[in-house]
Chains A and B, each alone.
Chain A
Amino acid sequence: AQSVTQLDSHVSVSEGTPVLLRCNYSSSYSPSLFWYVQHPNKGLQLLLKYTSAATLVKGINGFEAEFKKSETSFHLTKPSAHMSDAAEYFCVVSDPGAGSYQLTFGKGTKLSVIP
């Protein structure tokens, strides 16, 4: 069975400082991993995805994540936070190798950006 744990429910950073949102996963096979962002009263937007290619994945808006199998981690980073980054972020896993395309969501991390 697949699962994902987001280690922080709330992260607060100052504008212009780095962002780190932590995610650990559990998967029986070779997982696909994703980060989604949800702005208040908005839909879900895919930031980036890992599907067994390069372990360092670059996404939209300057975000990137690194797949570390030995640590079962997929942390999301950004060098410099912008006010528009304030939102809820979800780490997500699926197991297409096991024939499962359904997505299992973490509980989310709320990112606050302080001016």
Chain B
Amino acid sequence: SAVISQKPSRDICQRGTSLTIQCQVDSQVTMMFWYRQQPGQSLTLIATANQGSEATYESGFVIDKFPISRPNLTFSTLTVSNMSPEDSSIYLCSVEQGYTFGSGTRLTVV
């Protein structure tokens, strides 16, 4: 199974600012996925990121708020833009092979 390194592991941010989360995979993967886990909730898919194409966003998520980059087959970033306290969540990335997850980024917006 792929091993995913995700950073930062946690951050506390001011409202109105942006945070970029990185995921690095130890092997080449076609698809990477970004999920959000709000406090006390299950995981919800934000978007699917394929290398060389625009990310595909799920209902309720838009590119202006959650821009995603996928510059190569081992790396992706998710930016949470213009943050508000409602964005306080754990953000996780995943890949299709092995269905493994990064360790998550715990974001608190104050």
Residue in B1, B41, B45, B103 whose beta carbon sits within 8 Å of that of A103 in the complex = B45
Q: Which of B77-110 contact A (CB under 8 A)?
A: 92, 94, 96, 98-104
Enumerate chain A residues within 8 angstroms of B43, measured Cβ to Cβ. Answer: 44, 90, 103, 105
Cβ distance A40 to chain B, nearest Cβ, rounded Å: 12
**Contacts A34-B99, A101-B31; is A43 near B104 (CB within 8 Å)?**
yes
Answer whether A44 and B48 are a contact pair too, CB < 8 Å, given A90-B43, A105-B43, A106-B42: no
CA distance A49 to B102 in the complex (A): 18
- Find out whether the CB atom of B92 lies under 8 angstroms from the CB atom of A44: yes
Cα of A73 to Cα of B7 in the assembled complex, Å: 36
The smallest C-beta distance from A44 to any residue of chain B, in angstroms, reads 5
Q: Which residue of A lies closest to B31 (CB)?
A: A101
Contact indicator B42/A43 (Cβ below 8 Å)? no
Evaluate whether A43 and B101 lie within 8 angstroms (CB atoms) in the complex, with A102-B45, A103-B45, A106-B42 already known: yes
Q: Is B66 at the interface (CB under 8 A from chain A)?
A: no
Q: Mark B1-20, 1 if CB is under 8 A from A, else 0.
A: 10000000000000000000
CA distance A43 to B102 in the complex (A): 8
- B33 part of interface (Cβ distance < 8 Å): yes
- Is B101's CB under 8 angstroms from A101's CB? no
A44-B92, A102-B48, A103-B33 known; A108+B99 contact, CB < 8 A: no
Q: Can you list, as one digit per residue, whether each of A97-115 has a CB less than 8 Å from chain B (1) or not (0)?
A: 0000111111110000000
Q: Tell whether, in the assembled complex, residue A107 and residue B101 are in contact, meaning their CB atoms are under 8 Å apart.
A: no
Complex Cα spacing A106 to B44, Å: 10
